[in-house]
Amino acid sequence: MSTLAYRTWDLWINTGFFADGQIHEGYFECVVHDALMVSQSIEFLADGKEIIGRKFVDVTRASAESLRASTRTQAGELCLRMYEALNTAEDPGNTIEAIRRFIDSIALAVDAPLSCYSVRFISHQYGNILQANRRSIGRGVGFEVEERGIATEKIRADLNFYKNDTDHPAIVGRRHYMAGMQILAMEDQVAGLLDAAFMQFYQGCEVLCRDPKGALEASKKYIALQSPQDSRELQIIAHQVWGVRHKYFGHGDVQHNLYANKNKEQAAQVARQVLVARYLCRRLLDLTAPSGTVLAREMGLFFGSYSGSFTGQVSQLLDGFNVPFGKPECKTFDAQGVESQPFTFPAP
């Protein structure tokens, strides 16, 4: 996966202590998610060592209580503490970025997921004078009046099918789809969950298109065979989903990974692809249900600004949901598997 890690940070500073390039002695509290083996790793790092000037220095801990005090904030959050001076003449954003990179390096060295989501500088003299919090990609899911009516119809027509037909091949696709939705709900906690959600939706699409190798052209032909009214549109969407998967999420294409994490705008472009994959997976699921009724509730992402919901329109792939993925020529097929009406993606 590409691990779409680019995030902006909300920054707060106490401006009264940032005048005239003051230098403050103190320490950074880098708050990390307490999961898996993270607490043991933080305790290991603090047991007999301190980070001073971003170097590990041997120290002697007086007691277990002093070890705990060095690994927890006053509010009880797990943190990595780094002693150093804060030069207020330097860009605080650059300071936070350097600290984040340092923590990532430590995480690799000790083989532990040190996911930092908040950084504070505590001055020995004045207390907290700087704080940065990792901003998540917000998720917005609407429930419009017309969607409520469709949901009522699906409860009436499809609920027993979903409940009882546990041997239907679509059951695996359903599991992938719901796993993707649940992962999206937790994206604000750990970097990388957006990638995981995309892959769940993509795997759901593969399963629902029934080709054992997950081949794109075979999957398009399967969609055409079902003869939905939007067959061509779904095939074009599938072409993009498969291409995006291979360039950004599936095989570690280095150049596309670097593109995705270069800045907020490009990260947002790639992040939106999860909405395209989600729509296709949901649409393929609806093809298996007795009612055939389409319900893909409005969902958008907030990446500084609202991305808008993907509603299955090919025109959207040419605008807000367009990213380079290296396969502009798209074949489409009729219900007999014969090529018809090819489509060409323009350059982004």
- Provide the token pair at 220: 């398009």
Task: State mean pLDDT over 173-177.
Answer: 90
Residue 214 DSSP class: -
CA angle 191–80–26, rounded 5-degree value: 125
Average pLDDT, the chain: 85
Label residue 1 by pLDDT band (50, 70, 90).
very low
Mutual angle of helices 170-185 and 193-208, in 10-degree steps: 160
Give the start-to-end residue ranges of the domains of the chain.
9-134, 138-344
Instruction: Determine the angle formed by the axes of helices 264-271 and 273-288, rounding to 10 degrees.
Output: 10
- Sequential DSSP letters for 221-273: HHHHHT--TTHHHHHHHHHHHHHHIIIIIIS--HHHHHHHTSSHHHHHHHHTH
Q: What is the DSSP string of 44-93?
A: HHHTTEEEETTEEEE-----HHHHHHTTB-TT--BEEEEEEEEETTS-HH
- Give the number of C-alpha atoms closer than 13 A to the C-alpha of residue 114, restricted to the C-beta side: 28
How does 24-33 read in b/e, with b if 16+ C-beta sit within 10 Å?
A: bebbbbbbbe
- Name the pLDDT band for 2 (thresholds 50, 70, 90): very low
Mean pLDDT of 234-258: 85
Percent of the chain whose predicted confidence (pLDDT) is above 90: 40
Residue 151: per-residue pLDDT? 81
Q: Which two tokens stand for residue 299?
A: 């969902």
| Higher per-residue pLDDT: 157 or 6 | 157
**pLDDT at res. 336:** 94
Q: What is the Cα–Cα distance from 331 to 312, expressed in whole angstroms?
A: 18
* Average of per-residue pLDDT across 97-126: 90
pLDDT in tens, 318-327: 988 988 888 8
Q: Per-residue pLDDT for 305 more than 90?
A: no
Q: Does residue 300 or residue 231 have the better pLDDT?
A: 231
Question: What does the chain come to in residues?
Answer: 348
